[in-house]
Structure 1
Amino acid sequence: MSPLQQAGDFLVTTLFDLYTFILILRFILQYLRVNYYNPFTQFVVKATGSLVVPVRRFIPGWRGIDFATLLVILSVTLLKLTLVTLIRYKTTPFLPGLLIWSIGDILKLTVNIYFFSILIQVFASWVPALSHSPMLEIIQQLTYPIIKPFKKIIPLIGGIDITPIPVILLLQLINILFTNSIIMIGIQIALLR
């Protein structure tokens, strides 16, 4: 790739991933019913509302699942990967492969949300001043469902909770073995033209 293509690829990937990251957070936070009035939650809702709210008028949620947000996440990811394909390979992607690639990309971002949330929670536990941060409150509510089963199995060692370590390792293994495989299959099918 030329430097201009690399710059375009970097900008498209970074900007779309950041926004998709926030959209996925919106979906998860809503599903977990975290504190809506938390400043961090308000930021997520306001940053994504311009796309999600109009779609929600036509696609309602059901049993706590916000299908409008899921559709927006998929649409934004499809657009990102179409642009990436045009920049990297100078071709339009084959739709079935693009869908598979998009699902893998969304799953990878979701796993990364949990990975980074757990890392932030671990580092924040070492800094007492951060213990009352509004963002940390949300991160704890976000990570609790996946850390809880490990807390039942792994005891404290010398008063130190090591449960984040196996969770972080498991999340990375999911990305390496599962989501990366989906992405590679999607890319191969998307470039079949």
Structure 2
Amino acid sequence: MYDVNNPLAFIGQLLHVGLTVYLWIIIIGALISWVNPDPYNPVVRFLRRATDPLFIWLRRHVPLIFGGIDFSPIIAIAFIIFLDVSLVPILREQGNILANILIGLGQSLSMLLNFYLIVVIVAAVISFVNPSPYNPIVRILSALTYPVFSWFRRRLPLSFGGIDFTPVLVIALIFLVNTYGAHTLIRMGLNLKLKGGF
């Protein structure tokens, strides 16, 4: 809840609603883009007008296209979650700036790691059924996992008995980074809040 007599808290609530709506617009737009929608459909045109400015800005500053697949929606989702978790509480609480930034960074990082964990698990399971490399889902999974898998394969012997254990190592590393990186940032932020820090 928020105090309507507190203008910053009210602005924070409005920002939260706006970010939530925009988050779903990005998610729906990303899902629709994977099925080659009709570009003249009014819904598709609205989604593109609403998301293209952010996507273009991200692509200009960060290389987000791998294997011909655009991953700017994923970064955009993480960025919106960061704003919702950090900036909105700062406005509501009118303080705890560093604490909320740490929590926002931790939760955004954790979201990205959990997403990649699911991708690695699905890619590992699909690899056992010898899927068609032309399948769009297989292409997306390959574009996401191949750079990481190939980096480890070049440096470590991870195949035993014809089985590639690279996904197992990547999953273990994701758990470690999530536990000692993302969750540590969240705990630091929460501890700062409890101590009434900046």
How does the TM-score come out when normalised to structure 2? 0.59
Q: Which residue in the other structure is 2:147 paired with?
A: 145
| Structure 1 or 2: more strand by fraction | 2
Unpaired runs of 5+ in structure 1? 1-11, 27-38
Counterpart of 1:183 (choices 162, 174, 186) is 186
Q: Report the secondary structure of 1:189's partner residue.
A: helix
Of residues 150, 164, 170 in structure 2, which corresponds to 1:167? 170
Contact (CA 8 Å) 2:131, 2:138: kept in 1 or not?
A: no
**Letter of the structure 2 residue corresponding to residue 118 of structure 1:** V
Secondary structure at the aligned position of 2:60 is classed as coil
Paired letter, 2:79: L
TM-score when scaled to structure 1?
0.60
**Root-mean-square deviation (Å):** 4.2
- Pair 1:77-2:82 in alignment: yes
Measure, in 1, the Cα distance between the counterparts of 2:78 and 2:63: 17
Using CA pairs under 8 Å that are at least 6 residues apart, name the structure with larger relative contact order, 1 or 2.
1
Distance verdict in 2 for CA 1:50–1:185, change over 3 Å: farther
Larger radius of gyration: 2
The 3 A distance-change label for structure 1 pair 75 and 51 is farther
Equivalent position to 1:113, from 99, 112, 115: 115
Percent identity between the aligned chains? 19
Name stretches of at least 5 consecutive residues in structure 2 with no aligned partner: 1-15, 38-43, 66-71
Cα shift at 1:58? 7.3
Deviation at 1:163, TM superposition (A): 1.1
Deviation at 1:123, TM superposition (A): 1.0
Any conservation in 1 of the 2:110–2:183 contact (CA below 8 Å)? yes
Secondary structure, counterpart of 1:154 in structure 2:
coil
